[in-house]
Amino acid sequence: MALLDSALSDSPTATALVAALVVVHEGSALGEALGAVGRQVYELERVIVVGGGAEARGAVGADDWVSTVAEGLEALGSDISHVWLVHDDSLPRPDALRALVHEGGRVGAELVGSKILRAGHPGMLESVGLATDVFEVPATGLDFGEQDQEQYDVLRDVAFVAGSSILVNRVMLERVGGPDPLLEPVMGALDLCQRVRLAGGRVVVVPSAEVLHDGSCAAESKHWRLEAGRLRAMLKAYSPLTLLWVVPFNFILGLLEAIISPLFGRWRLFAFLRAWLWNLVRLPSTIGARRRVERIHQDDELFRFQVRGSTRLTSLSQQVADKAIRLAESERIRSLGHFVETSQETVRRPVVASLLGGVGFALLATRQLWADGVASVGYALPPAASVAAALGAYGGGWNPAGLGSPEPLRPVVGAVSLVQVALFGSGSIALVAILVGAAVIGVIGVARLLGPFGVRPVARYAAGVFLIAGPAARLLAGDGVWHGIVAMAVLPWLLSVAMHRRRTIAAVAVSALLTAVAAAFVPLMLVVPSAALILWALVEPANGLRNVGRSVTGAVLAIPALFPWLGALDDLEFFFTSGPDFYWSATPWVTVMVAVVAAGGLAAAPRPLAQLSGWGALLLGGGAVLARTGSFDWGTDPGAAGMALAGVGMAIIIGSGLEAGARAFDIGGVGRYIRLVGLVAAVLLLLGTITVAIPGRLGFPSKGVVETLSFTAEAPPGRAVFIGDEALMPGGGRQLTPEVSYRVVATPEPRLWEAWLAPERLGDDAIASVLSSALSGGSFRLGEELATFGVGWILATGPGSVVDALDAQLDLLPLAIPDTIVYQVEIPALRAVDESGADWILNGTGYVGPSSGGTVRLAENADSRWAEQWEQDEWGNRVTVDGGVIEFGPIEVLRTTSLVSLAWVGMLVIAVVTVGRWKESG
């Protein structure tokens, strides 16, 4: 008898009488499932099909069909000791039930589950028991596509088992009330297992019970249903104390995922909202179900098999890492599908290590910005406190720069406002987020640009580091031309897309979007990439026309994104000359070192690297010409575009120089030494980036104009005027003479929408006249005259006779502010004052005052759109309003144009996503 296997016997030696409830999810595979169930070597007492409607009912007959599991339980005879819940998309191996019964009985488990393998890929694991985190997010513990090598074939207690095949003691099943019919399969299984465990039962996975699962039931597991099920399962299982912190955290995590998921092409916000709404509606049902849960154990039993931390957060970070890896990989490598790796293997790869190093440097070089913000120098002013006001101003509203203007704001203001919207209106971190993002994408962009030329990861990421922390970035940051840094960071991507993308339509779509982004920050980026590609065509004629064509087409398609500003740009001279004269005065050290690297590359590097060196040198030379046009009174824009070009040129030179140096020993003779000299020079230049990394502000100074003007914070909002050197003024100034400029800004804190001045209007001419008169000795009551402009303070940005002239004024009170020469206007300087003398307070770009309204003099440039009852008061406005609010009446054409422009950008985004999906599907 010892040879007789009881499991193969029909004798009553069977330890359990089992009935199978085959739960229909998808239905099409019901016949196969029933066949697999029928082939079980452990004989089933009965097989009942659950759900699936008339089709399923017809397939098995009315006696063996029920609509719910609960009905199925009722239909079972009293002799049935165990119930086997099987999905209709599951194909249990013939010995699966036997293993479940025997192993479950052996260890005394009330609920046992199977090892689930993917149907069609029988060697691929789907689950061998599952764990969760505290937020009930399932975790298989498996790597994607992990093969079954019996590595998990150990009988063990788990948090829950897959619902595809569950054998459960009938008594226990009736005690816990059966599966929750409201939950989809995954959460249904989790919920059932949790209740069994709380009721004192063991949940065990039996790996020898193999089930092939084709996953049809996943159609029911839509994201929102998973979310809803998780929440319901938590609400039912956890103690109130645990729920007190788990539920809020779960909400925050869900929201975070909803915000981040669009980056990965998924929209989770609606699923998130729907899941919570679903639970809200079913809260009474959930409470009722919770009351019915039998609790022999407490939460500690649930915690026993939970993984530490948040699986969802881990998953998100993994997705971010994957995304970064995909960005880092060259397209050639991506197309080979080599990026599928485990996390540990990924990190060990040079490309990823370099990527992490480059990105790490970018984050290191910007770390202090998070704490301190971006110092308000040059154009780096904090975004508007109210993003709605900023968007309103951008869309045909009042341009508050200087004494104001109806001219449209620069696209950069709109772009920053959109980022601000994404950050829930937080202006304080919008600029920081943009700059940190720019630093990161700048590093990766250079690496992407150089990768296909055979520049290996370390060299190309080092070149990326040089882009964001080299002389170009330092100069741009030091002068507060922060938007130039953004444009410079996008430029390598633009070049890479035009040169390396295989499909022209994809290249054009991406190029258009990237050009729109870059040109929003520095409008000349409409033409700079094409110019750079023309230079490349000189170096390498192959595909030259194609590359330039792609770039030009992208630039043309990007033009609508710059409206309404571009449409209203009728003074090109003003555009080219506004802002402080930009002048790149490279140190001899940098000049010589870069020249050595470039010359070395040209002379001794292999052909592709030599081409890169030559191209980099041409970009550097061309960019330097533009970046030194300050002597022609060209303003900031040409300089910023030139500096971006020069920065990318230098990065290319450094990348090719490092790579050539790394290959020095591939050759002999003089060439080897030339490469080594270039390598040494490139490394020395790279060392200079430490000066940016250590302070951690990306080259921005620690203090700016906001700190300088902080003494005005106690007074009502007003204006201050800077007089002296234009380079020291926020956003540059208007010239009184070639050496002396002035700049009117709002106090206590000038905002980004003031950074770019519009062409002069009446008030600007008037205040220039007043200042000129005082500085040339034409008047000695400057304060009295400036007060009519709402200017309460004067800051002299240069020593010398400007200060002497201001010192001679009779109504200016010098203030003792360290490191700053400041005068306070003696009399009250109000921007808006009514006939009773009441001060109307600046609010956004408008004003608020007493609710009774009245006639108000506005110290803004005259424009009849300030109110219906309007009259010109010299250069300003006198308006009569009924209420307590004065708002500039928007210019509808500009507002409509801005909306169309926004829609156009949206279309570009959709085009890029669509093209990306074509490629993925291809």
Partner 1 sequence: MKRVLIGVLAAVTALAAWALPAPEAATGVVPELPELPETGQRAAVWFCPGVDSEVDPILTASLVSPGLVGFTLPADGDILDAFQTRIEPGVGDWDVGDGLLFHPGPSIVETSTIPSGAAVVYRGPVQVAVDGCYTPAKEWFIAGATAGPAETVTLRLFNPLLEQARVTLQVITEFGFEPLLDLESVSIGPRDWEDVPLGLVLGTREQLAVQVTVTEGVVIPSLSISGPNGLAVWPGESPSATWEFPLAQVAGTAGTISIWNPGTEDADVTIELMGRQGPVGLFDLVVRPGREERFDVSSATSLEAAAVVRSSVAVVAAIRSEGAAGNAASTGVARPAARWLVPGHAVVSDLASFVFVLNSGDDPVQVQAGPVGAESKATVNVPGHAIVRLNVDGRGADIVASAPVSVAWAVVGEADVGLGLGVPLAVQEP
433, 878 contact by CB (below 8 A): no
622 is a contact residue toward partner 1 (CB under 8 A)? yes
669 is a contact residue toward partner 1 (CB under 8 A)? no
725 is a contact residue toward partner 1 (CB under 8 A)? yes
- Among 585, 687, 714, 921, interactor with partner 1 by CB under 8 A: 585
Find the part of the chain contacting partner 1 (CB under 8 A) among 4-12, 372-380, 594-602, 713-721. 594-602
Find the part of the chain contacting partner 1 (CB under 8 A) among 309-317, 567-575, 581-589, 742-750. 581-589
Which C-beta is closer to partner 1: that of 391 or that of 794? 794
Chain center to CA of 590 = 34
537: helix, coil or strand? helix
738 is a contact residue toward partner 1 (CB under 8 A)? yes
Angle, nearest 10°, between helix axes 636-662 and 607-627? 160
Per DSSP, 262 falls in state G
3-state secondary structure 477-506: HHCCCHHHHHHHHHHHHHHHHHHHCCCHHH
Kindly state the smallest distance separating residue 427's Cβ from partner 1, in Å: 29
How many residues comprise the chain?
922
617 is a contact residue toward partner 1 (CB under 8 A)? yes
Which C-beta is closer to partner 1: that of 14 or that of 594? 594
736 is a contact residue toward partner 1 (CB under 8 A)? yes
The DSSP-derived string for 734-802 is: EESSSS-EEEEEEES---GGGSSPPPP-HHHHHHHHHHHHHHTTS-S-HHHHHHTTTEEEEEEES-SHH
- Among 74, 807, 868, 882, interactor with partner 1 by CB under 8 A: 807
Considering Cα of 322, then 324, then 328, then 330, what sign does the dihedral take? positive
Find the part of the chain contacting partner 1 (CB under 8 A) among 105-113, 213-221, 440-448, 794-802. 794-802
Kindly state the smallest distance separating residue 792's Cβ from partner 1, in Å: 14
Return d(Cα 133, Cα 258) in angstroms, integer: 19
Which residue is it, tokens 């953004």?
486
580, 729 contact by CB (below 8 A): yes
Longest dimension (CA), the chain: 124
- Name which of residues 820 to 839 contact partner 1 (CB under 8 A): 826
Residue 465 is encoded by which pair of tokens? 């580091």
599 is a contact residue toward partner 1 (CB under 8 A)? yes
E strand or H helix at 821, and its extent? strand 820-825
- Among 118, 222, 703, 781, interactor with partner 1 by CB under 8 A: 781
Find the part of the chain contacting partner 1 (CB under 8 A) among 206-214, 358-366, 447-455, 772-780. 772-780
- Among 183, 598, 698, 891, interactor with partner 1 by CB under 8 A: 598
E strand or H helix at 115, and its extent? strand 111-118
Find the part of the chain contacting partner 1 (CB under 8 A) among 170-178, 466-474, 482-490, 616-624. 616-624
Return d(Cα 192, Cα 112) in angstroms, integer: 12
Return d(Cα 120, Cα 657) in angstroms, integer: 51
Return d(Cα 133, Cα 151) in angstroms, integer: 23
E strand or H helix at 207, and its extent? strand 203-213
- Name which of residues 625 to 654 contact partner 1 (CB under 8 A): 625, 627-631, 633
Which C-beta is closer to partner 1: that of 514 or that of 594? 594
61-100 as b/e: b if 16+ CB within 10 A = eeebbbeebeebbebbeeebbbbbbbbbbbbbbebbbbbb
614 is a contact residue toward partner 1 (CB under 8 A)? yes
810 is a contact residue toward partner 1 (CB under 8 A)? yes
Return d(Cα 365, Cα 485) in angstroms, integer: 13
Mask for 239-258, x = binds partner 1 (CB under 8 A):
--------------------
561, 908 contact by CB (below 8 A): yes
Return d(Cα 719, Cα 735) in angstroms, integer: 18
Find the part of the chain contacting partner 1 (CB under 8 A) among 187-195, 546-554, 564-572, 591-599. 591-599
Q: Which residues contact 164 (CB under 8 A, 6 or more apart)?
A: 86, 87, 89, 90, 114, 116, 185, 211, 213, 217
Find the part of the chain contacting partner 1 (CB under 8 A) among 248-256, 294-302, 619-627, 700-708. 619-627
813 is a contact residue toward partner 1 (CB under 8 A)? yes
578 is a contact residue toward partner 1 (CB under 8 A)? no
- Name which of residues 512 to 541 contact partner 1 (CB under 8 A): 538-539
Phi, psi of 346 (to 5 degrees): -60, -45
- Among 477, 488, 610, 677, interactor with partner 1 by CB under 8 A: 610
Kindly state the smallest distance separating residue 464's Cβ from partner 1, in Å: 22
Kindly state the smallest distance separating residue 579's Cβ from partner 1, in Å: 12
Find the part of the chain contacting partner 1 (CB under 8 A) among 76-84, 110-118, 391-399, 812-820. 812-820
- Among 260, 768, 902, 912, interactor with partner 1 by CB under 8 A: 768
Which C-beta is closer to partner 1: that of 116 or that of 728? 728
800 is a contact residue toward partner 1 (CB under 8 A)? yes
- Among 208, 426, 504, 772, interactor with partner 1 by CB under 8 A: 772
Which C-beta is closer to partner 1: that of 52 or that of 798? 798
Which C-beta is closer to partner 1: that of 198 or that of 802? 802
- Among 124, 385, 603, 841, interactor with partner 1 by CB under 8 A: 603
Find the part of the chain contacting partner 1 (CB under 8 A) among 6-14, 20-28, 306-314, 731-739. 731-739
Which C-beta is closer to partner 1: that of 574 or that of 780? 780
Contacts of range 772-779, beta carbons closer than 8 Å, 24 or more positions apart: 772/736, 774/805, 774/806, 774/809, 775/723, 775/736, 775/740, 775/802, 775/805, 775/806, 776/805, 777/805, 777/808
Per DSSP, 119 falls in state T
423 is a contact residue toward partner 1 (CB under 8 A)? no
Which C-beta is closer to partner 1: that of 382 or that of 798? 798
42, 101 contact by CB (below 8 A): yes
Nearest to 286 by CA among 349, 243, 350: 243
871 is a contact residue toward partner 1 (CB under 8 A)? no
618 is a contact residue toward partner 1 (CB under 8 A)? yes
Return d(Cα 642, Cα 629) in angstroms, integer: 9
- Name which of residues 685 to 724 contact partner 1 (CB under 8 A): 724
- Name which of residues 429 to 448 contact partner 1 (CB under 8 A): none
- Among 181, 778, 850, 883, interactor with partner 1 by CB under 8 A: 778
Please give the size of the binding site for partner 1, defined by CB under 8 A.
64
- Among 67, 319, 426, 779, interactor with partner 1 by CB under 8 A: 779
- Among 234, 359, 698, 805, interactor with partner 1 by CB under 8 A: 805
583 is a contact residue toward partner 1 (CB under 8 A)? yes
Residue 807 is encoded by which pair of tokens? 């010192």
Which C-beta is closer to partner 1: that of 337 or that of 818? 818
Kindly state the smallest distance separating residue 547's Cβ from partner 1, in Å: 17
What is the edge-to-edge ordering of all strands in the sheet holding 885-886?
Answer: 841-843, 846-848, 885-886
216 is a contact residue toward partner 1 (CB under 8 A)? no
812 is a contact residue toward partner 1 (CB under 8 A)? yes
For partner 1, the binding residues (CB under 8 A) are: 538-539, 581, 583, 585, 595, 598-599, 602-603, 610, 614-615, 617-618, 620-622, 624-625, 627-631, 633, 724-728, 736-740, 768-769, 772-773, 775-781, 797-802, 804-805, 807-814, 826
